[in-house]
Amino acid sequence: MAGEAQSAGEYIKHHLQNLTFGKYGDGHELAGQWGFAHNAQEAKEMGFWAIHVDTMFWSIVLGVLFLYLFRRVAKSATQDVPGGTQNFVEWIVEFVDGTVKGAFSGRNAMVAPMALTIFIWVFLINFMDLIPVDWLPQLAMLIGHNVFGADPHHVYFKVVSSTDPNATFGMALSVFALMIFYSFKIKGPIGFASELTMHPFSSDNKIIQLIFLPINFILEFVGLLAKPLSLSLRLYGNMFAGEMIFILIALMYSGGLVLGVFGGVLQMGWAIFHVLIITLQAYIFMVLTIVYMDMAYQTGDH
């Protein structure tokens, strides 16, 4: 619930702050040393090399959970009457495989496993948004205070990694790097350069075409950079908005019995609707990844 010693604004800021580890800034009494930030200003002063420990923790844990569950099902798979878990996993694999076949025209054995990994991993990360917003942060505050002696108000613990733009940008940039790599591999440097300079405007007149080259490059380069931006910001924006609504609903529990009951109804309704959102966002991220990989395989003949 909303902390008794915190105002509504402090409660919201606390839930939106990452557990940040980095080097303290010059103005800090521990300047030059590494440690955890105690507030948003300290986290900001830690700069680019600071690590969001909670984002890394949940991303790795959920990634390992996905690998463990699917590996366990694969090792115990049988041709006899399958159990419910095997049926569910096979359905997901067939669904992703069908999506890849429908959206990817090239031949690359890596695309389908990558699409499956992205879909399940992003879904599990998003699914953490359905856990009540206070449960895990309050547990982290208790552990931080009782075990490490930290001020509980300075113990931050964001649970939904996709509400951290560092995580969504990291995934999007990884997809972007693969797209660039295969664009060079399939089209070659000259073919890729032609794709960026010969479209959308072209002319049989060589002089006019030379005039079009910088215009085409600017337009195509902006469109190229927009791909990782849109991929990351779409996921981040939707999940951040959903998390913010859950936080605002949680504030209602401290407003008395009537407001608390109303908040409970709202939370249940939003959670049910949010199941669709978290699944849809994972699916969109996967589909766009497949489409971008397909674009890397498209040559001038397409």
Buried b or exposed e, range 115-140, using 16+ CB within 10 angstroms: bbbbbbbbbbbbbbbeebbbebbbeb
Q: What is the mean pLDDT of residues 228-233?
A: 95
Tens of pLDDT along 148-162?
888 888 899 999 999
How is the chain split into domains, by residue range? Answer: 8-297
pLDDT of residue 150: 84
Q: Identify the active-site residue in 7, 146, 202, 230.
A: 230
Tens of pLDDT along 106-135?
899 999 999 999 999 999 999 999 999 999
pLDDT of residue 176: 96
- Whether 234 is a known active-site residue: answer yes
Q: Give CA–CA dist 112/90, Å, rounded.
A: 14
Tens of pLDDT along 88-111?
999 999 999 999 999 999 899 999
pLDDT of residue 221: 94
pLDDT of residue 148: 82
Q: Identify the active-site residue in 39, 194, 234, 254.
A: 234
Pairing of strands 51-52, 34-36: unpaired
Residue type, position 280, single letter:
L
Q: What is the mean pLDDT of residues 276-284?
A: 97
Q: What is the mean pLDDT of residues 59-85?
A: 91
Tens of pLDDT along 160-170?
999 999 999 99
- Whether 71 is a known active-site residue: answer no
Reported as a pLDDT band with limits 50, 70 and 90, residue 1 is very low
- Whether 230 is a known active-site residue: answer yes
Tens of pLDDT along 172-182?
999 999 999 99
Reported as a pLDDT band with limits 50, 70 and 90, residue 3 is very low
**Whole-number mean pLDDT of the chain?**
92
Tens of pLDDT along 259-278?
999 999 999 999 999 999 99
Tens of pLDDT along 10-35?
999 999 999 999 999 888 888 889 99
| pTM score of the predicted model | 0.92
pLDDT of residue 19: 96
Q: Give CA–CA dist 293/244, Å, rounded.
A: 33
pLDDT of residue 25: 87
pLDDT over 70 percentage in the chain: 97
pLDDT of residue 6: 75
pLDDT of residue 301: 52
Reported as a pLDDT band with limits 50, 70 and 90, residue 300 is low
Q: Give CA–CA dist 143/195, Å, rounded.
A: 55
pLDDT of residue 130: 95
pLDDT of residue 2: 41
How many Cα neighbours within 13 Å face the side chain of 111?
Answer: 25
